[in-house]
Amino acid sequence: MRDYHVLSMDSVGGKVTDHGVALDVKEVPWAGRQLWAPDVAFKNGTYYLYFPVKDKQDVFRMGVATSSSPTGPFKAEATPIAGSYSIDPAVFTNTDGKAYMYLGGLWGGQLQRWATGTYNANTPEKKPDGNEPAISPRVALMSPDMKHFAGPVQELKIVDEAGKPLLASDTKRRFFEGGWLHKYQGKYYFSYSTGDTHLLVYAVGDSPTGPFTYKGVVMSPVQGWTTHHSIVEFKGKWYIFYHDTQLSNKTWLRNVKMTELKRNPDGSIVTINP
């Protein structure tokens, strides 16, 4: 993307207002090209816009920009977050006040290039087979000022019901991109896209840093190559925001959607057929 716009609604199903450009790639001093999907957090009167963009060496990093308004405009920091990489930031603030960034995306999102802890541009976008563990999404504790990592970027383990790591060949359950974390009745729900198998799935844990046990499908495939989502509570109900390509019929040109997220009495998520 070249820039970000902020859309708002006063009520579910209400009129949508486009507040114009919140941040343009030209306003990011260190950016090379390609803004991808962002997230926003709020703390102490400030809104923090976290965004992945390729730097001038064509490596994805996470930037942060701030505003006193949720609609922007946002002012970007002069440098990316040290230690950050890949795509799809999602920032969750726990009830104890600690905030965490979840990140990562395979293939074009470059996560596989960081398998050794340092960047390797020659790592292929392969479809794994055999019994190798799936590449894990990442999580990092945010600093109190919300502009830095307060510790190392760590792997977020996702396991099956037997406690064994999901395998790279398990493409209907393994992480691909688009992670999101929300808390419900004391449990932490990490949901994500499986990418090339087009599912939104989720895993549940007792800690915001995992491990997480795979539980099931949040949403069946949408029209378009993949989807990217967020799950939020509003006036006592839970909603999922996501996208498909119904308006454009073009894989890369996506429209925003939302629908109610419903749960069974045991807290499990009822699969949505979009």
**pLDDT at position 243:** 96
**pLDDT at position 64:** 98
List CB contacts of 24: < 8 A, sequence separation 6 or more: 2, 3
> Domain range spanning residue 171?
3-260
Domain-embedded: residue 221: yes
Domain-embedded: residue 274: no
- Residues 152-156, mean pLDDT to the nearest whole number: 97
Nearest-CA neighbor of 217 among 268, 176, 166, 167?
268
Domain-embedded: residue 270: no
Domain-embedded: residue 241: yes
Query: How many domains does one find in the chain?
Result: 1
Q: Give CA separation, 134 vs 170, 177, 189, in Å.
A: 8, 12, 19
- Residues 14-20, mean pLDDT to the nearest whole number: 97
pLDDT tens for 36-88 read 999 999 999 999 999 999 999 999 999 999 999 999 999 999 999 999 999 99
Domain-embedded: residue 225: yes
- Residues 199-211, mean pLDDT to the nearest whole number: 98
The model's confidence at residue 167, banded by pLDDT at 50, 70 and 90, is very high
**pLDDT at position 58:** 97
In angstroms, the CA 253 to CA 225 distance is: 11
Amino acid 231 reads I
Query: CB–CB of 142/150 below 8 Å?
Result: yes
Phi and psi angles of residue 122, each rounded to the nearest 5 degrees, phi first? -95, 0
Strands 212-219 and 200-205: what pairing? antiparallel
Residue 21 CB neighbours (<10 A)? 15
Domain-embedded: residue 115: yes
Query: CB–CB of 231/180 below 8 Å?
Result: yes
pLDDT tens for 117-127 read 999 999 988 77
CATH number of the domain residue 67 falls in: 2.115.10.20
**pLDDT at position 125:** 85
**Whether residue 130 has pLDDT greater than 80:** no
Domain-embedded: residue 265: no
**pLDDT at position 128:** 67
**Whether residue 249 has pLDDT greater than 90:** yes
In angstroms, the CA 259 to CA 242 distance is: 9
Query: CB–CB of 62/50 below 8 Å?
Result: yes
Q: Give CA separation, 240 vs 32, 35, 132, 217, 223, in Å.
A: 32, 23, 32, 13, 16
Domain-embedded: residue 273: no
Query: CB–CB of 178/105 below 8 Å?
Result: yes
